[in-house]
Amino acid sequence: MKVLVVGSGGREHALCWKIALSDQVSRVFCAPGNPGTAQVGENVPIDAGDLDALLAFALENAIDLTVVGPEQPLVNGLGDRFRAEGLAVFGPSQAGAMLEGSKVFAKEFMFRHGIPTAASHTFDNREDALSFLSSGDAQVPLVVKADGLAAGKGVLICEDLESAESAIETVMGERAFGEAGDQVVLEDFLSGVEASIHIITDGKSYVILPTAKDHKKIFDGEKGPNTGGMGAVSPAPGVDHSLLSTIESEIIRPFIRGLQQDGIEFQGTVFFGLMLTENGPSVLEFNVRFGDPESQVIFPRIESDIVPVLASIAAGNLSGSLALRDEVAVTVVGASVGYPGAYKKGVPIEITRDLPNSATLFQAGTKTADGKLVTAGGRVFAVTGMGQNVEDARTAAYDGIGCVRFDGMVYRTDIAKG
């Protein structure tokens, strides 16, 4: 089989790495990929947003399966366009992708199908949103969410009404996220521990992937601004068998029933961002793609070949199951100092010695310049360590991190700790 992976981050390196292990696969292409994906497959210089060029490439090269990394091409209709040409694609329809592409759509879906989520109010203009704040009905902390995709920056947690006011101003007044701020969701703040639960589904049946927990803040001790994720661990601490079956009955099954009742085609992954509250699990958001850096701990924990299962989903009839490795995975992200704000690019990266066998390096914001590996993004790479327990997996990941260096490299020292 020839497989095309769309995207260029650490998630896509992990995907290509796992797909390349399949003995059913003869070639793995990645568009546009990074130097890491080029080690396990072949990079194709097509931007992940260029649907015409992706489609032409898949047709010309008789690609048997396309696996989509990021959400934007799905929201732009990649799934429907590929399927209309008879191509097998792992990635939902545009309607399905709206579950991530519009927070308003996602909240309405959850309310309609009885999926637990924070109470919220939606506004399509700034004046109404501001008058809700002054109505006395708004409780703080309050979460202000731009409706559309905002590169992970559209969620603002506000401790008091003044900051909620300025968040509404940012989203709807200054239009900091453009059209994504046409509508705003004001949502109750939930406390608890977060967990990332992924399923893969053909819209009828599903397989639950290994659970994971992401560390979103830039600094140790969950301090500083939110990032795309600075590290992850799988399994997710606190998600035992019994909690997972609650998540299945209260969230996953109603979600699948909801897709069917609403006639939404969905062939891909759903990543439920959950808050485990004292009243049970509650959905913060749906994603229609694999998490990053969750992928860097999920795929290494899957023992089976994932390609036949992904291909069966793309064909519309999920079959097969996945055997998991009874090990813990921890991934630690090496980032450019300044991230998630401004940072330097083009800094040479050195691999000073071989990584331990129990660690794998996944590249993200890297590129090759004059034959040398240099930085090209905020999150530059992640090292995943595997072990019999969290401590061993952490040791492997941090030993691995110690083998890579570049000027201005920063990483959290407390991933999966405590």
Computed from CA positions of residues 84, 9, 181, 51, in that sequence, does the dihedral angle turn out positive or negative? negative
Each residue of 378-389: b (16+ CB within 10 Å) or e?
bbbbbbbbbbee
Of 32-40, 182-190, 240-248, 392-400, the segment contacting ligand AMP by CB under 6 A is 182-190
Binding mask 271-310 for ligand AMP (x = CB under 6 A): --x----------xx-------------------------
Q: Which is nearer to ligand GLY, 25 or 380 (CB)?
A: 380
DSSP for 346-378? --B-EE-SPPPTTEEEEE-SEEEETTEEEE-SS
57 contact, one of ligand GLY, ligand AMP, none, CB 5-8 Å limit per kind: none
> Minimum Å distance from CB 229 to ligand GLY?
3
Of 79-87, 186-194, 322-330, 371-379, the segment contacting ligand AMP by CB under 6 A is 186-194
Q: Which two tokens stand for residue 68?
A: 């989509």
Question: d(Cα 257, Cα 166) in Å, to the nearest integer?
Answer: 38
Binding mask 12-31 for ligand AMP (x = CB under 6 A): --------------------
Contact present, 299 and 331 (Cβ < 8 Å): no
Question: d(Cα 386, Cα 247) in Å, to the nearest integer?
Answer: 26
Of 41-49, 184-192, 227-235, 247-255, the segment contacting ligand AMP by CB under 6 A is 184-192
Name which of 70, 12, 205 is nearest 3 in CA terms. 12
DSSP for 29-73? EEEE--HHHHHHSEE----TT-HHHHHHHHHHTT-SEEEE-SSHH
Question: d(Cα 86, Cα 203) in Å, to the nearest integer?
Answer: 18
Q: Does residue 155 interact with ligand AMP by CB under 6 A?
A: yes
Of 45-53, 123-131, 187-195, 333-341, the segment contacting ligand AMP by CB under 6 A is 187-195
80 contact, one of ligand AMP, ligand GLY, none, CB 5-8 Å limit per kind: none
Question: d(Cα 313, Cα 158) in Å, to the nearest integer?
Answer: 40
CA 369: distance to chain centroid? 28
Residues that bind ligand GLY (CB under 6 A): 214, 228-229, 287, 291-292, 294
Q: Which two tokens stand for residue 63?
A: 């690609």
> Minimum Å distance from CB 150 to ligand GLY?
12
Q: Which is nearer to ligand GLY, 64 or 214 (CB)?
A: 214
Q: Which is nearer to ligand AMP, 83 or 216 (CB)?
A: 216
Contact present, 247 and 399 (Cβ < 8 Å): no
155 contact, one of ligand GLY, ligand AMP, none, CB 5-8 Å limit per kind: ligand AMP
Q: Which two tokens stand for residue 297?
A: 């701990």
Question: d(Cα 395, Cα 386) in Å, to the nearest integer?
Answer: 9
301 contact, one of ligand AMP, ligand GLY, none, CB 5-8 Å limit per kind: none
Question: d(Cα 25, Cα 44) in Å, to the nearest integer?
Answer: 17
> Minimum Å distance from CB 296 to ligand GLY?
10
Q: Which is nearer to ligand AMP, 33 or 116 (CB)?
A: 116
Give the H or E element holding residue 280.
Answer: strand 280-287
Q: Could you tell me how many residues of this chain bind ligand AMP (CB under 6 A)? A: 13
Q: Which is nearer to ligand AMP, 225 or 346 (CB)?
A: 225
Binding mask 133-152 for ligand AMP (x = CB under 6 A): ----------x-x-------
291 contact, one of ligand AMP, ligand GLY, none, CB 5-8 Å limit per kind: ligand GLY
> Minimum Å distance from CB 294 to ligand GLY?
6
Q: Which residues bind ligand AMP (CB under 6 A)?
A: 118, 143, 145, 155, 157, 187, 189-190, 194, 216, 273, 284-285
